[in-house]
């Protein structure tokens, strides 16, 4: 049986290829995680996009994120999104 990750509203959200916080969990259920990125809006992700969850922090698999979300995260860190790399 798979281990269910404990994800709570307010948890900080990180991506596995970046060090900074990219957003916060709004809520989660057995299938999805709802994430808010400041001034960029809400994103709904399947739970299998979560790599780990511990100590009020979740880490997302970058490769499992929608293209639009990857672009938004890149802009948060002052980067242009590399469309060819992903």
Mean pLDDT of successive 10-residue stretches along the chain, which has 86 residues: 80 87 95 93 95 95 91 70 48
CA distance 27 to 77: 24
Q: How many domains does the chain have?
A: 1
pLDDT of residue 17: 75
- In a domain, residue 39? The reply is yes
Report yes or no on 83 lying in a domain.
Answer: no
Task: Confirm whether 63 is domain-assigned.
Answer: yes
Instruction: Give the separation between CA 10 and CA 32, rounded to whole angstroms.
Output: 15
pLDDT of residue 81: 46
Is residue 1 assigned to a domain? no
What confidence score (pLDDT) does residue 50 get?
Answer: 96
Q: Is residue 81 part of a domain?
A: no
Kindly report the pTM of this predicted structure: 0.82
The answer to whether residue 86 is domain-embedded is: no
Domain encompassing residue 57: 12-76
Q: Which helix (H) or strand (E) holds 67?
A: helix 67-76
What is the pLDDT, as a whole number, of residue 75? 72
68 membership: H or E segment, kind and range: helix 67-76
Q: pLDDT at position 3, please? A: 62
3-state helix, strand, coil in the chain (%, to 5): 20, 35, 45
Task: Assign 81 to helix, strand or coil.
Answer: coil
């Amino acid at each position: 049986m798979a281990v269910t990750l404990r994800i709570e509203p307010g948890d900080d959200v990180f991506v596995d290829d970046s060090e900074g916080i990219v957003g916060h969990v709004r809520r989660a259920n057995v299938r999805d995680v709802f994430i808010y990125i400041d001034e960029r809006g809400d994103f709904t992700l399947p739970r299998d996009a979560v790599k780990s969850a511990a100590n009020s922090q979740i880490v997302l698999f970058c490769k499992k994120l929608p293209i639009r979300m990857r672009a938004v995260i890149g802009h948060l860190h002052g980067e242009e999104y590399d469309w060819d790399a992903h």
